[in-house]
Structures are given as structure tokens and as C-alpha cells.
Structure 1
Amino acid sequence: MISFLSIAMSTATGRFLTFELERNNEAEFAKIFSMSMTIYLGIVCLLVVFSETVGLWFVNHQLVIPQERMPAANWAYQCAVGTLITSILVIPYQSAVIAHEKMGVYAYLGVAEGTSRLAIAFALLGASGDKLKLYAALMLFMSIGISLIPRVYCWRHFKGCRYSFFWDKALFKTLVSYSGWNLFGALAAMVRGQGINILLNMFFGPLVNASRAVAFQVSALINSFMNNFFMAANPQIIKHYSAGNSEGMLNLVFHTARYCYYLVLILSLPVLLGTEVIMRLWLKDPPQHVVVFTRLVILNGLIDSLSLPLMTAAQATGRIKRYQVIVGGMIILNLPVSYLFLKGGAPPESAFVISILISCLCLWQRLALVRRQVPSLSIKSFVFEVLGRVLKVTTLACLAPFAVLFCTGMEGFSDLLVVTFACLVSCVTVIYFAGMNAEERDFVRVLVETKLLRYVRTPFAGS
């Protein structure tokens, strides 16, 4: 619950900071930052009270933990609370970094976190003593260390990110109301994910849950690349709306939707075609349903990639109550509809198919809702310029890989490499010639030529 609250508050903070940044209103930017920090500090105080009373009681009296491991469990619990507090208090600084479009800093954060996690894993391998206590302590130190990067960067580069206690009742209501409706949307997504997991467990047992978990691991890896790409476009969409440039915002929404889809397609097509081989190589003896689950989850991700910029466009307007109620309500429908089908004897794959169909309906509903908020949005243009083009690209990009797959038969790792290479070449070629307009192709050509010239000239720079 706390993590979902953090996500909702992060979205609100990022939206309002970006809005004022585009208006060059430094005073209002500083107020929003300080007000957000005040709210976060309040959340942290409530979290500490809850954690040190109800949470501590639950750990010591309700969880089944061997008596000799209770000291280690309490140590790990306190470290986990500290890690959560650190991650909450750094959100306004991360939002400020993204609002200023300092993506290099955000990339360094990702690299630092990944490297730190790897270092912790190696440290545990060679460590003696209580590894649970060591792991919890190292995770806390990692969280504190990484949180210092955006803090120090913001203190040094952004005047508006220097916290001083500030209270404005109207601004408080605005931020909390906006965050509240975002929280509803986040909870709807949680209900879909965890609810379907519970249903699959009820009807088919834990082995099907294991297959679903593996499928979502693969999907999460693919989506992480898309999310990093989309993060660069996110503040620009809000800034265009803040400046009153609806045409520029919609143009960016259309472009971002296409390129998010293209990126996911490039990454997912080799996985879709080689799922069986990948699972055999990875898991040796993959559980039942995992291949079909993985393919269906990836297809769902492809559809959802088209919705991302529409979500940001809706967030940019600030009028999200109707949007979250309708779209969130549709997402929650996954649960009762899946239950009815599974109760009627449908296979577990039906829950994933239902999710895909509802994602399609949500995409259409998002279009209609954003059209209501931004009247200049043409649904017809989105259908032809985005949906039509990505369908054409998908169809053409699949031809060569399917031909290679038919010839190789996909029996082992070498066949997987050949098909993957065919997918990459086919996707890049088709996207360039069929997925881009003339202006975009010219931009890519100039960019590639510039990079090549710089690469060629670099070795001779000192001669």
C-alpha cells in the first residue's frame, strides 16, 4: 500500500514540478517541491508509527519464525523500514531530475543501483556469519547511498530543490486530491495483477502461479527498456500542454506511441518466436503453460505501450478524476470476468486473453477521454497514423523471421541466434522504410552519418 502511495505521489509531484518549470515560475516550483516534501515527511511519520507498533507486533507474534531467528528477523525488519523511508524521501528529488530532463543523471542512478545489487550478491557469497542481517544492512546502506546522488545533484543545480517548511492548504488539497485519484488507478492495476494471481492459485494451484511469475519476469525485462525510453518523452508532453501547445503535445504523443511500440517489438519478437528454446535453456525443465503465458503477457505489453503517452496526456491536463474512475474501473473488470470464465471451466490462458481484450478497450477509452480533455485530438488520425502504421510494421517485420524459423525449425541455441538476428534486421529495416515518414528518415540518416563521421575522425584527432 505504501509503495502504491509513493508511486501516486511521485506522479503528482512530477506533473506539477514539470508544469511550473515550463512556465519559468521558480517561486511556484519551490513551493510545490517544499509542499511535496512536507507531505512526504508526514507520510514517513505515519509509516514509522505504524511500523513500530502494528508492524512490529505482526513480525514478532503473527509470523511463523523460529525463535532463534527472531533477532535476525527484527534486524532485517528495521532495515527494511529504513530502506522504505529512504526511498520515499528521495522521490521529490528524482521527480525534479526528470522534470529538468536530466536523463543522464537518472541513467547513472540505474547503473549505480544495478552495480550495487550485483556487489551485494557477491558479498553474500563470500560472507560468513548471519547473511540475512548482512543483506538487510547492505540494502539499507545502498538505498541511502543512491538516494544521495539526486539529492546532491538537485542541491547543487536547482535552487527550487532546497527544502524549507512550507504549508499551503489549497496546494495541499490539490496535490493530495491528484495523488488520491492516481492511487486509485495504481490500486486498480494491483487488483488486476494480484487478483488474477489469486484466482489462478484457487483454480489451478501453485505451479500455474510459478509459470505466471516467470512470464512476468521476461515481460518486466522488456518493459524496463521501454519505460526508460518513455521517461525522456514524459516531461516534454507535460511541458507542451503547460505552454498551451496542444498541437505540439499531440504530435509528441503520436510519435511516442509509435516508437514505444517499435522498441517493444524489436525486443519482444525474438522472444515470441523463440520462447520454447529460451525457457529450455533458462529453466531446463520449464513448468507447464509458461511458454503460452509468456507470449500472451508480451502481447499485452505491446498493446499497453501504445497507451503510455495517452496516460501522460491525461495527467498533463490535471483533470484525472473521470479518467481514473473509468479506466481504473475497466482494469478491475479483469477480476470478475476472469473468475466467471475460470469458474465455467476455461483454461488458465483465458485470464491472459481477457486481459489483452480489456487492454484494447482501455486504449480506446483513453483515446476518447483524452479527446474530451483536448478537443484537438483526432481519433481518426491516431487510428491511421499510429495504429495503422504499427500494424503494417508488425506484419511486414514478421515475414522474414517466420521464413527463417520455418527453415531452421528452432531446435537449439544456434537456431535462436539466427532467428534473433533475422528479427533485428527485419524490424530495423521495416521500421525505417515503413514505420517512419520522410522527415524521420532524414533525421535518422543525418544522426547516423554524424556519429559515423565522429567515430572515423576520433582516431586521427591527435595527428
Structure 2
Amino acid sequence: MQSSQKVAFNTFVMYAKVLITVGVSLYSTRLILSELGTDDFGIFSLISGVVGMLAFLNISVTVAVQRYLAYTIGEKSRERYEEVYGAAIKIGMFLGLLLAVVIELLGIFFLDSLDFAPERTWAVHAVFHCMVVSTFFSVWAIPYEAAIVANEDIYVISLIYTVESLLKLAIAIYLIYTPYDKLVIYGVLLVLVYVSSNIFKKFYCNRYGCRPSAKSINRKTMKEMAKFSGWTSIEPLSVLFSVQGVAVLLNLFGGTVVNAAYGIANQVCGQMNYFSSSLLSAINPQIIKSEGMNNRERTIRLSRFACKLSFFLLSFFAVPLIMEMPFVLSIWLKDVPEYTVLFCRLILLSFVVSQLAYGLQGGVLAVGRIKYYQIVTGMVKVMSLPAAYFFLKAGFPLFVAIIMFVASETLNYFVRLYFAKKELGLQVKNFLFGVTLRLMLSLTIIVLVLYFVKGQFFFGFHRLLIVSALSSVLWFLMFKFLILDKTEYAQIRKALLDFIIRIMDRVR
């Protein structure tokens, strides 16, 4: 399969996977909340949330391993590939064990600080140990998932996570009928699902990929990858710090009701951001492989296209959702806390702004010189926190804290342009007129049209359908006639036609 066909196929597969998993996840959450009850669900959310705060380590190590594996594939060096793969397995095992031990030790103090009924002590401890086991296996499996993605076998990862989401739904349904402690059963079954899916990744790699020998493990490579992982951890850590920091500020200046609104907004918007970032994984391996082949022109071209694709995919859903947020939340929630609608809209806006140049990050990562890029982008994100505190202390309304997210993403747009020019040789003027202007013009036209149409109908499901349908049509038209240039459109059209022909041939 040619590279353009592979990108089209992988994008389609990821699109289907995300739609299924997000839909199933939202429905499963409703069932689980209903069966566990508010108290047990709160306990599980707290424990899994605290343990999950270490997810930034997973992200950084995964990015590093994917980058090095994809780069070696581009170099067409089997020996170097086995060397990187072997080092990644060692890093995954060591980091997994280290995290498990650290979490278990800290958990002694963490669990004692929680407020829960004494009779639930054993259940709380059981769930905590289950989360520790799942954390170990998720880190242990990083090199296997990274190898699958680097080789662009996206359909395998999509299948694994789709089955995983369906199994979670089955667990939620089982909770309706089980006579045993539902919190413990949920924790145990959930960890079994995570362990099984991660073991399958290893099985797939051993069966269809690579089995490194002991000789392929190189300490220099391990040190190099560990250093790269350390730098890539800065951005997700800064996001975690700023998001949780704003939650504390909102609690100090607004109370728990405002925290509820902020929590709901992060849940809704997190699914949208996950949608866009998941789809970008279909194109990032090609960007890195291009750099590995010393094809800088293709690296830049794919990075530019990634900006267009990620902005289009996120805005496709975000724009009508922003427009109809009050009605959407009224369907999902019985009581919508104050500020929830405004917080959702502003956080989604910050995500949309971030996509204007986010695709360039793949190019910078491909080059490998990421130290200062990560430091500066991370600092900009973190600076939104003291800025929010300053404005709130001065008496500004609470939503100014979320506006700081939008401001930081706007500033990071220019930071990404600077580093893309420095590391990749990106022509900034060409990018501004060829990418940013096209995207912003498309967004402006669609928002104005939808705002006018929205005013012609009454609040309700009928208006939601009309706005969503019209938005979809307008975005596809803009994507074809304004966002894409002639070369990009011709390549996508050819790739899609080739993909359809291949599917039809297989069906026959």
C-alpha cells in the first residue's frame, strides 16, 4: 500500500474507532454511575484519577519510542530498529516496575487521607491495587503499541481499543446483575480487560513484528531515548499542572459548584481533543519516516497538511457543539451547573486555536531537537496559571481563568511557528497564507452562516439537527475548495479512490 493510501486508510480506521469508543464510553459511564452509586463512583474516580495523573509519563515515553522506531524505519536500518526496540522494552519494564512500587508506597499515605465509610476500606484498597496493576501493564506495553503505530498498523490498535471499549460496556451491564460488591467487581474486571489488551499487543508484535535478541540492546540508545522522553514529558506535565491548578483557583474564588462546572467542561472537551489527537496519529509516522529518509521537503509538506487535517477534524464537531452547547448539555445532564456552558465553549475554543499549528509539532519531533521547544511551549502553558490568579485576585469574573487557556494557545501558535522555521526550515509567510489564513477564513464564514441560521429557529432538537447538518456540509465544502490546495486535493482524491477500489476488490 502506498504512503498516501496508507494515510487515507489509517485516518478512516481511526475515525471509525474514535466514534465507536467515544459513544460506547459515554453510555458506559451512565450505566456505571447508576450501578455504583454516587459514593462508590466518586471513590473510583478519585483513585483512578490520582493514579492516572502519572499518564504524562506514558505519553512522553510513547512519543519517544514511536519517534525512534518510525525514524529507523525511514532509514531502512533493520539493525538500528532492533536496537531501538530492545531498548524500549527494557525502558518499559523498568519504568513500569518503578511506578508500581512508588504508587504502592505512596498509596499507604494517600488512602489514609481519603474520607470514606470504614466498612468500605477493603473495597477501596482492592480498587487501588487493581489500578496499580493496570498502570504497570500500560507502561510495560508502551514499546509494543509504539511499534504497531510506527509500522502504521493502525487498524490493529483501533481493533484493540474498540474491543476494549465494548468489554467495558459488557462490564457495566454485568454490574446490573452481579450480587457481589460492585465496586470491587468493577475494579477487578476492568484491570483484566487492560491486562488482556496489553498482552495482546505483545503477542501481535512477537508474531508479526520483531523479537530483539539480547545483543540488540544498546545502553547508549537507552540513554538517548530516556533523555528524549524526559524532554517530551514537559508539555503533558505542564498541561496537567495548569488544568489542575485552574481547578484549585476556581475552588478558591468560586466554590465547589464552579468546580463541578469545570469538571463537566473538561469531560466534554476532553473527548473532542482525544478525537483530534487520535486521528493525527495516522499521519505522524509518515512525517517521522520522511525525516528518516532525509526528505525534509516531504516532512514539511506533511506537517502543513497535518495542521489542516487536525483543525478541520476538530472544528467539524466543535463549531456546531459550541453553537448548541446549552441544548446538548440539557440532554446529557439533568441539572446543568452555572458556568458549564461558558466553560465548555471557551475550552473548546482553546483546543481549536491549538490546532492551527499543532501539526508542526510532528515535524519538530521528527528532527529530534526538542529541548527548547518543549521548555518554551510548556512554560507558556504554565504561565496561564499565575495570569489567571492575578486577574481573579483583581476581581475579574471567573471565566477569565479559562480565557487564559485561549491566550496561552494563541501565544504557543507563534512559538510553534518559530521552532518550525528554526528546526525544519518552514517558510513562515507561506504557512500563514497557505494554511492559517485558509483555516481562519473557513471558520469565519461557517460561524457567520450558522449564527444567522441559528437565529431563524427556536431552541431545541430540531435546531440542533439543522445546525449540525449545515455545518457538516459547509465544512466539507470549505475543506475541498478553500482549505486544501490543488495538489493536496488531487492526492487525497486519488488515495481515497484507490482505497475504495481495494476494498471493493476484497469484497468481491
Regarding TM over 0.5, the answer is yes
Per-residue deviation at 1:378? Answer: 0.6
Aligned to 2:197: 146
Contact 1:277 1:412 in 2 (8 A): yes
Distance 1:266-1:54 versus aligned 2 partners, 3 A rule: closer
Distance 1:452-1:191 versus aligned 2 partners, 3 A rule: closer
**Other structure's SS at 2:338 match:** coil
For residues 206-217 of structure 1, the aligned pairs below 5 Å read 206-217=256-267
Does 2:440 correspond to 1:388?
Answer: no
Aligned to 1:313: 363
Aligned to 1:36: 88
**Other structure's SS at 1:408 match:** coil
Of 418-427 and 38-47, the range deviating more from structure 2: 38-47
Deviation string, structure 1 residues 34-53 (Cα, Å, up to 9, x no partner): 21221222223323433443
Contact 2:388 2:400 in 1 (8 A): yes
CA distance in 2, matches of 1:22, 1:325: 27
Larger Rg: 1
Per-residue deviation at 1:65? Answer: 3.8
**Alignment partner for residue 481 of structure 2, among 419, 429, 433?**
433
Of 20-29 and 394-403, the range deviating more from structure 2: 394-403
Distance 1:39-1:454 versus aligned 2 partners, 3 A rule: closer
Distance 1:435-1:83 versus aligned 2 partners, 3 A rule: same
Deviation string, structure 1 residues 210-230 (Cα, Å, up to 9, x no partner): 111222222122222212220
CA distance in 1, matches of 2:214, 2:54: 24
Per-residue deviation at 1:439? Answer: 3.1
- Give, as a single letter, the amino acid of the residue that structure 1 aligns with 2:370: I
Deviation string, structure 1 residues 350-388 (Cα, Å, up to 9, x no partner): 1121211111111101110121112x3111111111111
Aligned to 1:93: 144
Contact 1:8 1:180 in 2 (8 A): yes
Deviation string, structure 1 residues 248-282 (Cα, Å, up to 9, x no partner): 11111111101111111111121111111112222
Of 142-151 and 338-347, the range deviating more from structure 2: 142-151
**Alignment partner for residue 174 of structure 2, among 119, 123, 126?**
123
Contact 2:100 2:133 in 1 (8 A): no
Aligned to 1:2: 54
Aligned to 2:156: 105
CA distance in 1, matches of 2:107, 2:240: 21
Distance 1:128-1:413 versus aligned 2 partners, 3 A rule: same
Per-residue deviation at 1:458? Answer: 10
Aligned to 2:188: 137
Per-residue deviation at 1:131? Answer: 1.0
For residues 38-437 of structure 1, the aligned pairs below 5 Å read 38-56=90-108, 58-59=110-111, 61-159=112-210, 161-162=211-212, 164=214, 168-374=218-424, 376-409=425-458, 411-437=459-485
Contact 1:211 1:287 in 2 (8 A): yes
**Other structure's SS at 2:282 match:** helix
CA distance in 2, matches of 1:81, 1:266: 37
- Root mean square deviation of aligned Cα: 2.3
**Other structure's SS at 1:286 match:** coil
Distance 1:386-1:405 versus aligned 2 partners, 3 A rule: same
Of 430-439 and 449-458, the range deviating more from structure 2: 449-458
Distance 1:452-1:27 versus aligned 2 partners, 3 A rule: closer
For structure 1, the 5+ residue unaligned runs are none
Of 20-29 and 396-405, the range deviating more from structure 2: 396-405
Contact 1:300 1:359 in 2 (8 A): yes
CA distance in 2, matches of 1:421, 1:267: 11
Deviation string, structure 1 residues 381-433 (Cα, Å, up to 9, x no partner): 11111111001111222343223212114x11111111111111122122222
Per-residue deviation at 1:154? Answer: 0.8
For structure 2, the 5+ residue unaligned runs are 1-52
Of 97-106 and 349-358, the range deviating more from structure 2: 349-358
Deviation string, structure 1 residues 434-455 (Cα, Å, up to 9, x no partner): 2222334445555676788899
Aligned residue pairs total 456
CA distance in 2, matches of 1:344, 1:24: 58
